Amino acid sequence: MSVCVFGSVNVDHVLRMAELPRPGETILASRSFRGSGGKGANQAIGAALAGANVRMFGAVGDDADGAMLRDQLCRRGLDLTGLATCTDAPTGTAIIALSDAGENCIIVSPGANLLARAPEPAALVGCTVALAQLETPVGEIEAFFKAARAAGALTILNTAPAVPASRGLLNLVDIFVFNEVELASYIGTSAPPRAARSLLTHRTQRAVVTLGARGAVLVDAASALHVPASTVTKVVDTTGAGDRFCGTLAALVERESNWRTILETANAAAAHCVEHEGAVPAL
């Protein structure tokens, strides 16, 4: 099985502090560190950690950050033949303010991610699951999903961040993954997770709504399945928990038919993610 991920690749600059700053406030960080990030890269690593063979498609800049990220992703075992290097844009960057309670605020400068281009169909031969998010151009995600479907792959869209133009992707997606805020942005109002059913355009589609500490809900045309969250010993950093969930789900859907098992495993992976610093575990 091969999971193909098209998405963002960033370097994360993380500042740890007692509490997140208020508007206009200057505070001192207790420590700082940097590492690999971007929803695409985070989810690709999550899929690899869950046992999948992963191909990563996206773009980094021709700079030191891009070289560092290539090294980090290569050491995770990802196939990077589809990761382009752009000479006219820097590598994407995220500045993350992280409180001691594990909450965060994130500012992203997309850089080369805005120049990422969908892979050619030939690059997707053997792809069984195609996963994307919304930190790269929507038109390129559409091309990625069309090529993946032509290759016979199952398509998964994590609707993060919520982008209105992504409604045009609905017919190309087999499984959606929303959180509650993203679901509300598509429906137009706060609604229970089962309201995700209104976004399904054909009977074989499924939507997964992640609920944080309350677990996740799977919705299809006829039913809904709620799976509670896994126990977290201590919340250290919530950055990347949703990405770990998505990557784990993508790794499991082709080899596991029991959706309760899939969601339980993805919940457990997300729970493990919040128990350490950084969007992905240290090498």
**Residues in the chain, pLDDT under 50:** none
What is the DSSP-derived secondary structure letter of residue 104? E
Query: pLDDT at position 146, please?
Result: 97
> H-helix or E-strand containing 127?
none
Spatial separation of the C-alpha atoms in residues 8 and 137, rounded to whole Å: 10
Contact (Cβ atoms closer than 8 angstroms) between residue 279 and residue 37: yes
Q: What φ, ψ does residue 23 adopt, rounded to 5°? A: -55, 130
Residues in the chain: 283
CA-CA distances (angstroms) from residue 19 to 32, 100, 239? 14, 7, 15
Query: pLDDT at position 276, please?
Result: 85
Query: Which three-class secondary structure state does DSSP give residue 157?
Result: strand
CATH 3.40.1190.20 fits 2-10+39-91+114-273, yes or no: yes
Spatial separation of the C-alpha atoms in residues 217 and 208, rounded to whole Å: 6
pTM: 0.94
59-75 pLDDT, tens digit each: 999 999 999 999 999 99
Query: pLDDT at position 1, please?
Result: 67
> H-helix or E-strand containing 176?
strand 175-179
Secondary structure (DSSP) of 96-144: EEEETTS-EEEEEE-GGGGG--PPPGGGGTT--EEEE-SSS-HHHHHHH
Contacts of 126 (CB under 8 A, 6+ apart): 2, 151
What is the DSSP-derived secondary structure letter of residue 25? -
CA-CA distances (angstroms) from residue 167 to 43, 80, 144, 162? 22, 29, 15, 10
Contact (Cβ atoms closer than 8 angstroms) between residue 6 and residue 44: no
Please confirm whether the linkage preceding 161 is cis (ω < 30° from 0): yes
- Rounded to a whole number of angstroms, the distance between the first and last alpha carbons of the chain is 24
Is 243 annotated in the active site? yes
Write down the catalytic residue from 12, 174, 237, 243: 243
List 73's β-bridge partners, or say none: none
